[in-house]
Amino acid sequence: MTSVVNGRVLFNSIPKASIEPGKTLIVDKSETIDPEKAALNGGILLKIVILSVDPYMRTLMNAPDPKKGLLHTYTPGQPIAGLGIAEVVRTETDEVKVGDHVHGFMPFQNYLILPGLAAGVTPFKVLENKFNLPWTYFVGVLGLTGQTAYMAWKEFSKAKEGETVFVTSGAGAVGSIVIQIAKKQGLKVIASAGSEEKLKYMKSLGADVVFNYKTTQTAEVLGREGPIDIYWDNVGGETLDAALLAANFKARFIECGLMASFGGKPAPIQNFEHAIAKNITIYGFTLTPIYPKYEKEFYDTWPELVANGEIKHKEHLFHGLEGVEQGVVAFQDGSNVGKAVIVL
């Protein structure tokens, strides 16, 4: 075998507001690699097969801003990075065998030489797949998005049977899982999304009340169907204000994301005073700090639930390194349903 192209998705320029196709990200094919002969120096040659595209990546396209907790962002001229799955092509360490699939935070490119599993931002892990599920699942329902829903719900919701939860972006990769977890626990689920197709999907997952936030006032629906005990916030802004207004005493707000401020100025919160009188606790979170506490129980239980069809999920597949930009833009314009995954 001779040299092949090692394509890379480079971060080209910091977007002002929206991502600009062809300008923010570019696919570079100037590098090559010889998979049979490339020097490994005791390490592992990986061929990347699956990449995950997630909303947090938009945040990493901003300039670093330590005051916002944003220490590391993408560097112009370098490959962007995110979660992915790679197959072991050659190895000079017995940490892995040829054909193993490893999961970790990796640069978005075709091939990668890793000094060892511990070399990542967080250590790479060899995936088990005893139910022989598609590898794409391991960046979605069995990866970041499934884990975000499962772990944050466990850590923060304090859910009790008979309570009411409001889930925003309920057709998204995280929201769709939250709906199902809440229904299994006997809660009433109110869920919002922005298209008729998404409303049907949320209904099929068991949501009791679904509505299109583009055509229906959130405050009106929550006023009629609330009060809400738990708010799963993927959007912030006016929707968060409506949730504060409709919250029950001792409500829990799980702050997963603020799509309302995606790439623009955040919408100011007007109803914060409700948090005091109603003894609301508001949990801002990212997955990393709570992950270790729930990792084992997640991998012990979820693959079987997914294999049995007890947890449903959708994938939105894109193909090739060119698909990365399409996946990111789909978040921006709201056209995605389910987990955005790139298959290389």
Please give the distance of CA 198 from its chain centroid, rounded to a whole number. Answer: 18
Q: Tell me: does residue 320 bind a copy of itself (CB under 8 A).
A: no
Q: How far is the CB of 321 from a copy of itself (least distance, A)?
A: 28
Distance CA 312, CA 307 (A): 9
- DSSP conformational letter for 68: G
Q: Tell me: does residue 283 bind a copy of itself (CB under 8 A).
A: yes
Distance CA 37, CA 42 (A): 13
Number of Cβ atoms within 10 Å of the Cβ of 316: 17
Q: Tell me: does residue 285 bind a copy of itself (CB under 8 A).
A: yes
- Classify 41 in phi/psi space as left (phi over 0), alpha (psi -120 to 50) or beta: left
Q: How far is the CB of 157 from a copy of itself (least distance, A)?
A: 14
Binding track, positions 165-204, relative to a copy of itself; x by CB under 8 A: ----------------------------------------
CA angle (305 as vertex; 187, 131 as ends), nearest 5: 170
Distance CA 81, CA 73 (A): 10
CA angle (109 as vertex; 329, 326 as ends), nearest 5: 15
Binding track, positions 242-261, relative to a copy of itself; x by CB under 8 A: ---xx--xx----xxxx--x
Q: Which stretch binds a copy of itself (CB under 8 A): 88-96, 114-122, 265-273, 323-331?
A: 265-273
Q: How far is the CB of 75 from a copy of itself (least distance, A)?
A: 19
Distance CA 10, CA 102 (A): 23
User: Looking at beta carbons only, is 183 or 274 nearer to a copy of itself?
Assistant: 274
**Number of residues engaging a copy of itself in binding (CB under 8 A):** 38
CA angle (151 as vertex; 145, 155 as ends), nearest 5: 145
* 176 and 313 Cβ atoms separated by less than 8 Å: yes
User: Looking at beta carbons only, is 154 or 274 nearer to a copy of itself?
Assistant: 274
Q: Tell me: does residue 271 bind a copy of itself (CB under 8 A).
A: yes
Distance CA 317, CA 95 (A): 31
Q: How far is the CB of 156 from a copy of itself (least distance, A)?
A: 9
Distance CA 45, CA 115 (A): 9
Q: Tell me: does residue 97 bind a copy of itself (CB under 8 A).
A: no
Q: Tell me: does residue 61 bind a copy of itself (CB under 8 A).
A: no
User: Looking at beta carbons only, is 122 or 279 nearer to a copy of itself?
Assistant: 279
Q: Tell me: does residue 154 bind a copy of itself (CB under 8 A).
A: no
User: Looking at beta carbons only, is 93 or 248 nearer to a copy of itself?
Assistant: 248
Binding track, positions 17-56, relative to a copy of itself; x by CB under 8 A: ----------------------------------------
